[in-house]
Amino acid sequence: MTKLTAGYIRKLLPSRSLDSNKGDYGHTLIIAGSKQFTGAAVLCSMGCIRSGSGLTTLAMSSSLETEITKRLPPEVMTIFLPDDNGYISPRATKVILDFCAERKITSIAFGCGISDKPPTRIFTERFLAKNRVPIVIDADGLNNIQKNVKILKKLKSPAVVTPHPAELSRLIKISVTEIQKNREKIAKQFAADYRVICVLKGHETVISDGKNVFVNTTGNPGMAVGGSGDVLTGMIAGFIGQAEDVLGAACLGVYLHGLAGDLAAKEKTQISMLPTDLIEKIPVAVKTVLE
């Protein structure tokens, strides 16, 4: 087991050469949001761009265009998907697969606020079965496969899953209490069984690829608020296009997300801080690690 520290993370942070361009730092596609959870798409996108992704595109249901785009930073590009009453339609599968190939997408953030309605459940299974781009699967991306978790074993690309204990409980049918008692062991076993990188969120978030186990040392209870996980998903996906490997990207995202939360809490207090405050502290977190 390895504790994540500033010194360890400093070695993982990608350097930037003078003659580089945006194409050298990845193009992240974010698939997020539904009519009930528009904020998830915005928060995930903001976490991604603040983590240095060279290009960031948000894919959303077409009916959400006005509601979401007016809140997006201008740096985020958009693509609109076939819509089923405010949810992503199964017909979106081909649209996204074609887009990934044409635009040379290097990483995907998938699932934040997409809902677990029938059309989106069908879309999730179809897309995951065919996707070939490194992917971070969070929230409803996981909820939509809880009855077919074996699909993770059939993925054609590296994957990071980011469950909190309740989401992992629904996937593996083990109680939340049992998971909390054996976080490192269960995260490692899940990662090994399903050939993914597991980021088990919570106090001292655990990261495992099934062989190695890392335990985070940053973060605080003020981050226990809706939207913090969406930011983390965007950060990890953004780092995938820059880090040497997907495991390193997961460690970078988790540590810097927690550190940004600690910095936000010092200024706003744990009670009053918001995920948007955390996002604003990501640059300070990166600077702190580099110093």
| Predicted structure pTM score | 0.98
Bridge-based pairing state of the strands 213-215 and 2-3: parallel
Supply the DSSP string of 122-164, one letter for each residue: HHHHHHHHH--S-EEE-THHHHTTTT-GGGGGG-SS-EEE---
CATH topology of domain 2-9+22-290: UDP-N-acetylmuramoyl-L-alanine:D-glutamate ligase (3.40.1190)
Per-residue pLDDT tens, the chain, 291 aa: give them: 999 999 999 999 988 999 999 999 999 999 999 999 999 999 999 999 999 999 999 999 999 999 999 999 999 999 999 999 999 999 999 999 999 999 999 999 999 999 999 999 999 999 999 999 999 999 999 999 999 999 999 999 999 999 999 999 999 999 999 999 999 999 999 999 999 999 999 999 999 999 999 999 999 999 999 999 999 999 999 999 999 999 999 999 999 999 999 999 999 999 999 999 999 999 999 999 998
Is 150 buried (19+), middle (13-18) or exposed (0-12) by CB count in 10 A? exposed
Distance CA 125, CA 134 (A): 16
